[in-house]
Amino acid sequence: LKTKAVLIEDYGEKVHVGEVDLRDPGPGEVLVEIARSGVCHSDLHVVTGDLPLPVPMVLGHEAAGTIRAVGPGVHSARAGESVVLSWIPPCGSCRFCLEGQPQLCTRAASAAMKGKLLGSDAPFSRAGEVVHSFSLTGTLSQYTVVPAQGAIPLPEGVPLDKAALLGCAVMTGVGAALNTAALRPGQSVAVFGAGGVGLSVIQGARIAGASQIIAVDRVPLRLDLARQLGATETLDVNEEDPVDGLLSRTGGYGPDVTFEAIGRPETIVQAFNAVRRGGTAVIVGVAPPHEEISLNSFAFPSQEKTLKGSWYGSSDPGRALPKLARLVRSGQLWLDPMVTKTYDLADAPMAFDDLAEGRVGRPVVHIGL
Ligand SMILES: [Zn+2]
Ligand SMILES: [Zn+2]
């Protein structure tokens, strides 16, 4: 099968749309026709080389589509079924999968770093040379092949054209609020970064009943979106120091919980410094692997602060998706306002530019169906 896809040839170069070959689904795999795929900052990090995955690569990892064929031994999925793709397809047999933390699956993590699938090569190639797949998904493509457990049936009542966001931004952000931080009604929260993930954290905080939700960003469009989606206050870092600004908005104490949804050492440290004594700073943003942070060590014992990581919303994707879909159906989780612009596949490179420049909420590429 030939498929048009968004490709990165080398770090620092612009992405382009090209044609690649796609092999049939192997044992335990499925072929998916993509309807919509979001573009995430993690895709951008590959383009800049901040996330040094193997190239060339088919980008994209947040999508909804329809299963068109299943490989040998697949009984859980059938052709014609609408699905949301998960960029962590849990192997089901490693220590973390068995102990109920499938988001930490070591086999899926290792395959993602190599641009392969579970126990098989990437499904894409060009002139006989392998083309890698982003995090076992490679969704910015008309068709892709993924492990069957990475194609989660789309629950009733969520339109296919909105469901893509559930696969990365919403799973990650809402999960960070509800699972990692286990927010409780009445808490005060600050969210650094109001991109797709940060906006989802804000929604999770609203759903959990947080009384004060402060969005911290430098782009007016994103601060406007944050207010639409539940932020009670905004803080523009062009005008104010974020740590001072958060202290002054919380009676001098700092928020109960801070979330960093950018992935930069400076903002991670700010999120830690701003959280109140005894509070928790949750790190959701993915910083380049070589970056390090420096924190005041006295603050840990004397202020009892917690610094906590959150990966894929601390979610079991197969169980979390139906729950997120129920929140969409009940009117508590809003997908429409997050998508401010959609693109055809041919214009996907523009989505990358718009995302890098902060000109959009979550860019979504309309690929098929
Ligand atoms: Zn993502
Ligand atoms: Zn596993």
Q: What is the pLDDT of residues 130-155, one digit of tens each?
A: 999 999 999 999 999 999 999 999 98
Q: Is the pLDDT of residue 369 over 90?
A: no
Query: Hey, how many other C-beta atoms are within 10 angstroms of the C-beta on 95?
Result: 10
Of 351, 359, 315, 345, nearest in space to 143 by CA: 345
Q: For 120-154, give the secondary structure using H, E and C.
A: ECCCEEECCEEEEEHHHCCCCECEEEEEHHHEEEC
Q: How far does the centroid of ligand 2 lie from the alpha carbon of residue 118, in Å?
A: 10
At 190 the three-state DSSP class reads: strand
Q: How far does the centroid of ligand 2 lie from the alpha carbon of residue 139, in Å?
A: 22
Mean pLDDT value of segment 294-316: 95
What separation in angstroms does the CA of 242 have from each of 192, 217, 254, 268, 303?
9, 9, 11, 12, 20
What is the Cα–Cα distance from 34 to 367, expressed in whole angstroms? Answer: 6
Mean pLDDT value of segment 86-100: 97
What type of residue is 350? Answer: M
Q: How far does the centroid of ligand 2 lie from the alpha carbon of residue 107, in Å?
A: 5
Higher pLDDT, 162 or 278: 278
Strand 342-344 vs strand 364-366: parallel, antiparallel, or unpaired? Answer: parallel
pLDDT at 12: 93
Q: How far does the centroid of ligand 2 lie from the alpha carbon of residue 196, in Å?
A: 27
* Residue 119 phi, psi (nearest 5): 70, 15
pLDDT (tens digit per residue) in 202-220: 999 999 999 999 999 999 9
Q: How far does the centroid of ligand 2 lie from the alpha carbon of residue 91, in Å?
A: 4
Higher pLDDT, 38 or 369: 38
What type of residue is 144? Answer: T
Residues near 41 by beta carbon (within 8 Å), at least 6 away in sequence: 195, 196, 197, 263, 286, 355
What is the Cα–Cα distance from 296 to 231, expressed in whole angstroms? Answer: 29
Q: Is the pLDDT of residue 356 over 90?
A: yes
Nearest ligand, CA 285: 1
What separation in angstroms does the CA of 265 have from each of 270, 283, 297?
9, 10, 16
* Residue 120 phi, psi (nearest 5): -150, 165
User: Band of the pLDDT at 157, cuts 50, 70, 90?
Assistant: confident
Residue whose tokens read 């990090």: 45
User: Band of the pLDDT at 161, cuts 50, 70, 90?
Assistant: confident
What is the Cα–Cα distance from 75 to 109, expressed in whole angstroms? Answer: 24
pLDDT at 299: 86
Higher pLDDT, 198 or 155: 198
Mean pLDDT value of segment 218-231: 97
Mean pLDDT value of segment 44-52: 94
pTM of the model: 0.97
User: Band of the pLDDT at 160, cuts 50, 70, 90?
Assistant: confident
Mean predicted lDDT score pLDDT of the chain: 96
Element spanning 176, H or E: none
Percentage of residues of the chain with pLDDT beyond 70: 100
Please report, for the chain, how many H helices and E strands are present, in that order. 12, 18
What is the Cα–Cα distance from 221 to 143, expressed in whole angstroms? Answer: 33
Q: How far does the centroid of ligand 1 lie from the alpha carbon of residue 354, in Å?
A: 16
**Sequence-distant contacts of 330-336: CB under 8 A, at least 24 apart:** 332/207, 333/170, 333/174, 333/203, 333/207, 334/203, 334/229, 335/162, 335/163, 335/165, 335/166, 335/170, 336/162
Q: How far does the centroid of ligand 1 lie from the alpha carbon of residue 86, in Å?
A: 10
pLDDT at 168: 97
User: Band of the pLDDT at 163, cuts 50, 70, 90?
Assistant: very high
Q: Is the pLDDT of residue 162 over 90?
A: no
Query: Hey, how many other C-beta atoms are within 10 angstroms of the C-beta on 106?
Result: 12
Of 312, 317, 334, 275, nearest in space to 176 by CA: 312
Q: How far does the centroid of ligand 1 lie from the alpha carbon of residue 165, in Å?
A: 9
pLDDT at 86: 98
Q: How far does the centroid of ligand 2 lie from the alpha carbon of residue 148, in Å?
A: 14
pLDDT at 196: 96
Q: How far does the centroid of ligand 1 lie from the alpha carbon of residue 22, in Å?
A: 23
Residue whose tokens read 């982003």: 134
At 80 the three-state DSSP class reads: coil
Mean pLDDT value of segment 306-312: 97
Nearest ligand, CA 94: 2
Nearest ligand, CA 85: 1
Query: Hey, how many other C-beta atoms are within 10 angstroms of the C-beta on 152?
Result: 24
Q: How far does the centroid of ligand 1 lie from the alpha carbon of residue 234, in Å?
A: 24
